[in-house]
Amino acid sequence: MTVLALDFETANERRDSACAVGLAWIAEGRVVRRESHLIRPPEMRFAPGNIRVHGILPANVAGEPDFAGVMAPYLDDLTRGLILAHNASFDIGVLRAGLARAGLPVPALSYLCTVQIARRVFPAPEGCGLGKVARRLGIRFEHHDAGEDAYACAEIALAAMRETEAADVHGLAAAIGVPVTRVTGGPPLPRRAPGVISDRALAAVPAAPTALSFAMRGSTGNRYAVVLEERPGGPQLRCTCTAGRYGMRCRHVKALEVGDITDLLSDNVSDVALLARMIGAKGRMAGAA
């Protein structure tokens, strides 16, 4: 089975705003291939905080391929293989949201989080962030460069294999009790046409079911309900997690808004597509006001 590490950088807070990707393949106990690419995100909106982290500017990606163009050569390996990522829920979420935004099918995926691996094999009071673990292991890399981060992620997994004397990544997972996470695939979301939506087009967007709701998995495995409610300003998602109860747009709500179904527990992917159409229509109408 193909084993490869994956890392994304994003332009802003949306998971479908990837602006760079790095990949590193593992075979025979070493990194055998590395790739990195800049990506032109769907919207050229770069948050200052994101720029401070990775240093990528809109001008750097203006002439680069879009998400589908960059990722197409690697989808077979990603779909059939085992993906490693440091804080994997983020990178897998970016992958799935990017494909959905591009109108492509979202494949089933299998992945391991190297944060969880590091916490079991290389624990330390300072924590298990990528840079901290790499420093403890003597891995030299340029942090927040997607290609370099993917390489460091792969090297952390290899170091853990050596430490535990595991024959491969699957053996490592079994030895330390970190299960491989498998997420199901889903249909493509409809592409959003550029420009302002007309009243006629808005009328074509299906009305929300009276009980549009989603079961979402929290970071500690808790189950939360995200429900679409009618509010004076229009439909709004509300989550039963702690942040949601205080009226905040939690990460579960933000994920559903961009079509990210990584943590979706309920079997209603089609409702996520419907939600995306509603939000897209509402946003374009607001922009025209």
pLDDT at position 277: 65
Q: What share of the chain is helix, strand, coil (3-state, %, to 5)?
A: 40, 20, 35
pTM equals 0.67
pLDDT at position 185: 83
Mean per-residue pLDDT over the chain, rounded? 86
pLDDT at position 279: 63
pLDDT at position 190: 52
Mind giving me the DSSP string for 132-193?
HHHHHHT----TT-HHHHHHHHHHHHHHHHHHHT-SSHHHHHHHHT-PPEEE--BPPPPPPP
pLDDT at position 206: 43
Type of residue at 77: D
State the average pLDDT over residues 61-82.
Answer: 96
Write the DSSP symbol of residue 264: B
Name which of 184, 175, 165 is nearest 110 in CA terms.
Answer: 184
Instruction: Tell me whether residue 253 is exposed, middle or buried, using C-beta atoms within 10 angstroms of its C-beta: 0 to 12, 13 to 18, 19 or more.
Output: buried
Residue 285 in this model has a pLDDT that exceeds 50: no
Rounded to whole angstroms, what are the CA distances from 234 to 3, 136, 229, 281?
Answer: 45, 50, 8, 12
- Please tell me the least confidently modeled range out of 3-17, 240-254, 260-274: 260-274
Contact (Cβ atoms closer than 8 angstroms) between residue 105 and residue 20: no
> 289 or 79: which carries more pLDDT confidence?
79
> 92 or 281: which carries more pLDDT confidence?
92
Instruction: Tell me whether strands 82-85 and 3-10 are parallel, antiparallel or unpaired.
Output: parallel
Q: Give pLDDT tens digits for 122-178.
A: 999 999 999 999 999 999 999 999 999 999 999 999 999 999 999 999 999 999 999
Q: Give pLDDT tens digits for 162-201.
A: 999 999 999 999 999 999 999 988 766 555 444 333 333 3
Beta-carbon contacts of 214 under 8 Å, excluding residues fewer than 6 positions away, are 225, 226, 227, 256, 264, 266, 268, 271, 272
Contact (Cβ atoms closer than 8 angstroms) between residue 161 and residue 169: yes
State the average pLDDT over residues 222-234.
Answer: 83
Residue 96 in this model has a pLDDT that exceeds 80: yes
- Please tell me the least confidently modeled range out of 42-51, 133-142, 269-278: 269-278
In the chain, % of residues over pLDDT 90: 63
Domains of the chain: 3-183 (3.30.420.10), 199-288 (no CATH)
